[in-house]
Structure formats: structure tokens, C-alpha cells
Amino acid sequence: MTNALDLSPAEWGEALRAMGQPAFRAGQVFSWLHKGAKFSEMGNLPKTLREALAVEYDDSGVTIFERFPSKLDGTVKYLYRLADGNLIEGVRMRYHYGDTLCVSTQVGCRMGCRFCASTLEGLARNLTAGEILGQIVAANAEGKITNVVLMGSGEPLDNYDNVVKFLRLLREKGGVEMSLRSVSLSTCGLVPRMHRFAEEGLPVTLSVSLHAPNDDIRRTMMPVAETYRIEDVLRECRYYIEKTGRRVIFEYALAEGVNCAPENAKELASRLRGMQCHVNLIPLNPVKERELTGATRRQAEQFQHELEALHISATIRREMGRDISGACGQLRRGYIREHEAT
Ligand code: SAH
């Protein structure tokens, strides 16, 4: 069954016209759905229509199956259940300016980064636009989400069409209506897709998982580096900056003995010189199946100072939700059969 959140207002217009409904119904249905309402709750719709819609569309495509609140900070990890029994994870982080939701874009991931849990079992499938949006709609019911980061399981640009459709739905009038300036999309650097994305005219913040100052080191950490060179990734970043006027964020997970020596910082700084960018340093979070370990706080601070001395702005990301395996690179996929779910 089609997830009701997959449809744009225009698509609802067509679908409802085909059901013999007046034009104004499209806006009503769209706006109810984005508030998290079920068809049965749509009070201003005729009962027969509500019933007909429920036969054709799924209004519970994404539900919060379990919550894991952190004892360390206000972070909550959500385990979401999809209509087909797949389980994905999302994380609510509380900041002084509001709540940020980290959403997944795929069930699993096929990028194979050596330090990340999301890719351990490979890719099961792409999420639809409505399934990405549904994570926000479900979370909104327990506290308004003001910012969204596409940094959960999956590589957003590997699910290009659904992610772009999701972004367009997100800012649609009458829906969740979030400004795309409050959204960050993170990619491991799929060069041709980065180029195409820069041309969509969507003002999201682009984050790029660089993690290494050169291709030799990057290849030991990320299989994608076998296909695309850092130089080409950076060229697309410059293009994105040119097209959107926004600075790019580089993510750099510090792994002990791999990429955090002072000379690595120097090489990184020389590559990023003159670019409108910021580096987010993250001491690598532990993933039990992976052998890489995180740098110490002191190493991270040294690395940051090296970069700043060379005029590259850098911060060490505050780690949240580590006790609930809700931190970067710790999210996983799962699966549950219906009878187990009750
Ligand atoms: N696939 C996209 C979206 C994932 S975002 C991407 O690669 O950018 C999640 C971020 O966490 C990425 O920067 C990823 O490289 C990083 N990450 C993965 N495993 C990590 C770990 N164990 N410790 C810290 N960061 C990690």
C-alpha cells in the first residue's frame, strides 16, 4: 500500500479528483497527514471519504516502536517501525535553539565505511520520501522538531530521488513547513550526485564526510574513496558553495593512529585553504564489530589547534547519546515480523 505521506499536494489533488472530490480536499488531507493525523481522525472530511482513503493509503507507515532516552543528556533514540517490518533508527537531540532530529534515509547502507555500524549488514532498501518525512511527523507528536539532519543510517545521495522529493515535501505550505536552511544533508562524497544536487536549488547545508587529508588514508577507511578522489569531492564542494552561497561542513572522525597526527592536520588545512568551510571533528565512536578506536580528547584538541593555526575553522563536536548507541556511526537497521511486534 502507498504511504500516504509520499504524496505531494499536487499528487493528492489528482488522486482526490479521481475519487470525485472537490479541489480543496487535497490541502485538507495533506495538512492533516503532516500533523500526524490518521484518516479516521480527519474530522472535516466525509466519513465515506475517510474510509475510502484508508483502503488505498497507509496512514501509519512510520511509527515509533521504542524510545531510548539517554541518561547523559536530553537525547532520545527512536526505533521506528516501517510498514514492511523493517526497523530504522533516528535520534532527537536537544539544543538551546530547539530540537534536532537525525533521520535515516535507507534501511542499512551499502557504502561500507570501516568505522560505521549502519553498513554492517549492507543495504536492505531505500526509504521512500514519505518514510523519511514520517520520522519527523512521528517525532513532532512528542515535541516540535526545529532542525533536521540527514545523518542517520544510509547515504542520502544514494537514494537521490526520494531524498530530493522529501526535501520538497518538508518545506511545502500547510505541511511540516520547515525552512530548508534548518536542514543538513551529509554525504560520503558521491561526486556526480553532489554536482546534480548543487543544481536543485535547495538551500540545505551540505556536510561532507571527509575523514582523511589524502586519498591513501581515505581508502583505508572508506571504500567510496576507491571511486572518487578527494580532489573531485572538493571541486564539487566549491561548486555547491558557488551555487548556494553557503559554507560546506567537513566531518572528520578522528581514529587513533590513522588520521589524527599533526602532519595530517597540516595536509588537511592546505587542501581546504581558501574554501568557505568549517571542520567538525568527532573522536571516533566505538562500534563493537569494528577495530578502529577513537582519538583521545587531547589529540582532538591538538588537531583542532593545528587547523586553527592554519586559519581553518574547526570545532570538536559535542557527543550526544553515546550511552544509547545514538551517536554518529552507531545507528543500525533491524527487522521485526508483525506477530513479534505486539
Ligand atoms: N552516509 C552519509 C550520512 C551519514 S552521517 C555520510 O557518510 O555522510 C553520519 C556521520 O557519522 C558521517 O560523517 C559518518 O562518516 C560518521 N561516522 C560513522 N561512523 C562513525 C563513528 N564510529 N564515529 C564517529 N563518526 C562516525
Residue with the three cell numbers 545523518: 151
Distance of CA 287 to the CA centre of its chain: 19
- Residue with the nearest Cα to atom 18 of ligand 1? 329
If you measure from the C-alpha of residue 142 to the centroid of ligand 1, how many angstroms do you get, rounded to a whole number?
A: 26
Per-residue pLDDT tens digits for 40-91:
999 999 999 999 999 999 999 999 999 999 999 899 999 999 999 999 999 9
226-250: average pLDDT: 97
Q: Is 242 an annotated catalytic residue?
A: no
- Residue with the nearest Cα to atom 11 of ligand 1? 328
328 lines ligand 1 (CB under 6 A): yes
- Residue with the nearest Cα to atom 24 of ligand 1? 284
Whole-number pLDDT of residue 287: 86
Query: DSSP assignment, residue 234?
Result: H
Out of 89, 131, 155, 306, pick the active-site residue.
89
Of 212 and 331, which is predicted with more confidence? 212
Please determine, for residue 337, whether its predicted confidence score (pLDDT) is greater than 70. Answer: no
Pocket test for ligand 1, best of 100, 115, 237 (most atoms within 8 A of CB): 115
104 lines ligand 1 (CB under 6 A): no
251 lines ligand 1 (CB under 6 A): yes
Question: Which ligand 1 atom minimizes the distance to the CA of 282?
Answer: 24
Q: Could you tell me the CA-to-CA distances from 307 to 205, 229, 233, 311 in Å, in that order?
A: 22, 22, 20, 6
Per-residue pLDDT tens digits for 126-162:
999 999 999 999 999 999 999 999 999 999 999 999 9
pTM above 0.85, yes or no: yes
- Check: CB of residue 86 under 8 Å from CB of residue 95: no
Pocket test for ligand 1, best of 328, 330, 331 (most atoms within 8 A of CB): 328
If you measure from the C-alpha of residue 208 to the centroid of ligand 1, how many angstroms do you get, rounded to a whole number?
A: 9
Q: Is 89 an annotated catalytic residue?
A: yes
Please determine, for residue 339, whether its predicted confidence score (pLDDT) is greater than 80. Answer: no
* 235-242 CB contacts, 8 Å cutoff, 24+ apart: 236/189, 236/191, 236/194, 236/195, 236/198, 237/194, 237/206, 237/208, 237/275, 237/277, 238/275, 239/194, 239/195, 239/198, 240/194, 240/197, 240/198, 240/206, 241/275, 241/276, 241/277
- List strand residue ranges (DSSP E) for the chain, in order: 2-3, 57-58, 62-69, 76-82, 86-95, 98-102, 106-108, 123-126, 145-150, 183-187, 205-209, 248-254, 277-283, 314-316, 334-335
Please determine, for residue 342, whether its predicted confidence score (pLDDT) is greater than 50. Answer: no
